[in-house]
Amino acid sequence: MVPENGPQPPRLLDQVRRAIRTRHYSRRTEKAYAGWVRRYVLFHGKRHPADMGAEEVTRFLTWLATDANVTASTQNQALAALLFLYREVLGVELPWLDDLVRANRPAHLPVVLARTEVRAVLDDLRGTPRLMAYLLYGAGLRLLECANLRVKDLDFEAHRIVVRDGKGGRDRVTILPALIESELRRQLERVRRLHDDDLSRGAGWVELPGALGRKYPNAGREWPWQWVFPATRTYRDRVTGQRRRHHLHETVLQRAVREAVRTAGIAKPATCHTFRHSFATHLLEDGYDIRTIQALLGHRDVRTTMIYTHVLNRGPGGVRSPVDRLAGPLVQLPEADPGRSHPKLCYTPAPRRISPRREP
């Protein structure tokens, strides 16, 4: 038994955070998992998870699907968080959840913009969001992959971008669009001046991935590790006391793209991720093979990339409607019934050509 004046055992959420950081999961994963553990505990009246098991987990996940009406991906995230809690933190292996009610996973096709629509949105953007949007569409980057770009990740000589620690913790190489190389160089010149100014004021630090900060204590102030799109303000890290500058927050680009889509009058629910969908679809339309696009996107399974074939000029996208083969135009006839408000649409056939009869 722990004495009253002795060290207190760590709280459950602190144990979860420590286990996540030990495995080098992202901060977003840490925040999401801790949030689901907290909701799970509150759902069962603040009972400790060690006193519960598969039955309580099944009841919570079923409630999410039936009463909370969450999506399948949200329910799967909650399940992953609880499995991590029991396996990695509490050391308990849960049996298979046989009675779990799964949330429906509808098959949605990705939203893809036409090339003219992409041009309209890009033309309406200004400043740094415009350059970032060009990278989303021109290199197929995800939103956070673009925001997390560092100076060392841009290879102008090889015309490529190295994406570090992408989705699933995987690195990949994608193309650097030639159209924006000069603008990217000017962006780096502005960032260099900003970094020199930070150094003169005793700042100039950036956050380093993993344990690189301990292995290379001064790397956080070196030029190659600086963000390509830095934030406008600095902050003081609570642990190290360093005056750091974070990358530009992703919501800045999200708001700018949302406003540009609205201004362009596009009726599609387009977001920043729509540029990535459009990148893959337009490459397929240009004749590039599916395996090359899979590598550029960083998909682990080619079946994920195959979803973009829905807009190609073959398969369902290449089917011609039988009404398009009709010869005559579609004309409107006056409506005889005054009680009906819509005119009838009538097909007027083209006059039939009759060949002259041959004399015997």
Q: Which residues are catalytic?
A: 142, 167, 273, 276, 299, 308
> Nearest 5 degrees, angle CA 71-CA 76-CA 79?
130
Long-range contacts of 70-77 (CB under 8 A, 24+ apart): 70/103, 71/103, 71/105, 72/102, 72/103, 72/104, 72/105, 73/105, 74/103, 75/102, 75/103, 77/32, 77/36
Q: What are phi and psi of 265, to 5 degrees?
A: 75, 30
C-alpha distances in angstroms, 168 versus 53, 212, 230, 298, 299?
Answer: 28, 20, 24, 10, 10
Q: Which two tokens stand for residue 321?
A: 């409607």
Cα–Cα separations (whole angstroms), residue 256 to 132, 216, 246, 271, 318: 11, 37, 19, 10, 35
Residue 271, sorted as left (phi over 0), alpha (psi -120 to 50) or beta, turns out to be beta
- Residue 267: how many other CB atoms lie within 10 Å: 7
Report in angstroms the alpha-carbon separations of 181 from 16, 30, 36, 341: 43, 36, 43, 57
